[in-house]
Amino acid sequence: MNYKTALTNLDLVYPDGVAKGFPLWTEKGIEIQNKTTNIFLEVFSDIKKVAINYPNQIQNLDEFSKKYKDRIDKYDSSLPIFNVNKENKLFITDNLPYNLKKMDQEKIDAMLTYYYVLRLLNSKQIPMSRDYYISPLLQFNIAIGNRQWNITDIIDIREIGKIKNKLKKTERSKTGKIEIKEEREKEQLKIKEIEEKEIIKTKKEAVNYIINKMQEFCKKINLPVVILEYPGVEGYSEKVFMVSALNQKMETQTILQCSLLSNELLESFNISQNLRNKYVFDIGYSQKIFAYLADNNMDKYGMRLPSIYNKKDIAIIYNTESEIIKRLKNQEEISKTTYFDNNLGKKKLKTIRNYYMNKGIRTILIQNYKEQKEFYIVYSIDQEPNTLFTYEEIYLKIIKDKSELDEFYYTKMNNKLEEIRQKGYSYVSEFKNKGEVIKVNS
């Protein structure tokens, strides 16, 4: 099953869209998009001042060309340009210069922009990857650290180390408890004052911060990735980082892209020295991320939505509301994660199982009776059907499966990425040369 069919089966996109290259998301699909945006923002919740922007979708071509100067050539083949009152207009294709201007003027640490893109394609259209209509497109610009750090900063960092070592050596009382002294409290306050100045000082620290945040975001949505580092693009970036996932053909493809912007680019946008003194990143993902989310959380039945999106991914099918069913319904921990369906009727077990499996449910318990003895046939991922008889058995099965489902899919695809990590490099379609695998804290 391909990812488009899987997304359609879960009622996230309409089967035929508007037209070829114009996918149409359902209300449920838009909820998934919004949830993903919120997860992304939660990952960066330690940033003090973050603004959210929904830009004007129509821009003046001359204004855009001036912003990008000679770089406009890279967009020419795909820009949908049209004329209004003798002025050339275009649908927005990159809000970066406008974001940076707003961040600069309003002293904003980061800005998230959420919009769609229309483009012309000379090459083959690929659903959810290379479409004429791309929605959503998330762009996140963040300015951190300080390129101008000085000897005072170095002393501060060393001072923290000295203080922490001193605290470690605090004498212990005869009972083994650390004595809390007035001096200790003063030292703790001193550490706090120093750390609040600016934690990120160097380019390496800034890059590590961003890389770990992107990894954290992907883990939260249950998408195993490798991060590849490439040299910067002249006049645009110092470094490029491609967060890459595997598709069903076991190819690495970019699902999240990040650039450490160059000073040359920032100067061309007339950005102030104050902002240029920081490390400015441009991070983004498109609807393509949902295609790879499907590919990485899929089995022979289709896609299972990770738990962060769908709290209910277990089903109990019954005809009789027995004492076991009543107890399970009254158990809050179970009722939050489980569908209860009493429309069993005379359908065959295989039909019922396939119906729920295709809807993303991966543990199904079906009530049965034999000689008036109640039991449940259990279908789970990659397991033969088994039989449970008691409330306690059923309760433990539901709790165990719930905790292991995300890990089952994540581990399966993450293990396949290990070969790439061991090799130390891989390729993505955006670059012809190989990218170096970046080691990330797990």
CB 400 within 8 A of CB 408: no
How high is the pLDDT of residue 174? Answer: 43
CB 259 within 8 A of CB 211: no
Which tokens belong to 163?
């203080």
How high is the pLDDT of residue 152? Answer: 45
Residue 10 pLDDT class (50, 70, 90 cuts): confident
Structural domain contains residue 157: no
Q: Specify the higher pLDDT residue, 284 or 55.
A: 284
Structural domain contains residue 343: yes
How high is the pLDDT of residue 342? Answer: 84
Structural domain contains residue 311: yes
Q: What span, in angstroms and rounded, lies between the C-alpha atoms of 69 and 431?
A: 23
Structural domain contains residue 394: yes
Structural domain contains residue 401: yes
Q: How far from 145 is each of 52, 100, 402, CA to CA, in Å?
A: 21, 16, 40
Over residues 229-269, the pLDDT tens digits come to 999 988 889 999 999 999 888 888 899 999 999 999 999 88
Which tokens belong to 164?
């922490």
Residues 6 or more apart whose CB falls under 8 angstroms from that of 118 comprise: 80, 91, 132, 133, 134
Q: Mean pLDDT over residues 124-141, rounded?
A: 74
Average pLDDT of the residues of the chain: 81
Q: Specify the higher pLDDT residue, 401 or 148.
A: 401
Structural domain contains residue 123: no
Q: Which domain holds residue 404?
A: 304-408
- Asked whether residue 193 carries a pLDDT value surpassing 60, the answer given is no
Q: How far from 102 is each of 51, 54, 66, 95, 126, CA to CA, in Å?
A: 10, 13, 17, 11, 34
How high is the pLDDT of residue 143? Answer: 95
Q: What span, in angstroms and rounded, lies between the C-alpha atoms of 313 and 401?
A: 10
Q: Which of 62-66, 243-247, 365-369 has the lowest mean pLDDT?
A: 62-66
Structural domain contains residue 366: yes
Structural domain contains residue 347: yes
How high is the pLDDT of residue 415? Answer: 93
Which tokens belong to 75?
């967009």
The enclosing domain of 396 has a CATH number of: 3.40.50.800
CB 375 within 8 A of CB 320: no
- Asked whether residue 93 carries a pLDDT value surpassing 90, the answer given is no
State CA 59 to chain mean position distance: 29
Q: How many domains does the chain have?
A: 1
Q: Specify the higher pLDDT residue, 389 or 156.
A: 389
- Asked whether residue 144 carries a pLDDT value surpassing 70, the answer given is yes
- Asked whether residue 85 carries a pLDDT value surpassing 50, the answer given is yes
Over residues 271-325, the pLDDT tens digits come to 999 999 999 999 999 888 999 999 999 888 888 899 899 878 889 999 889 999 9
How high is the pLDDT of residue 213? Answer: 96
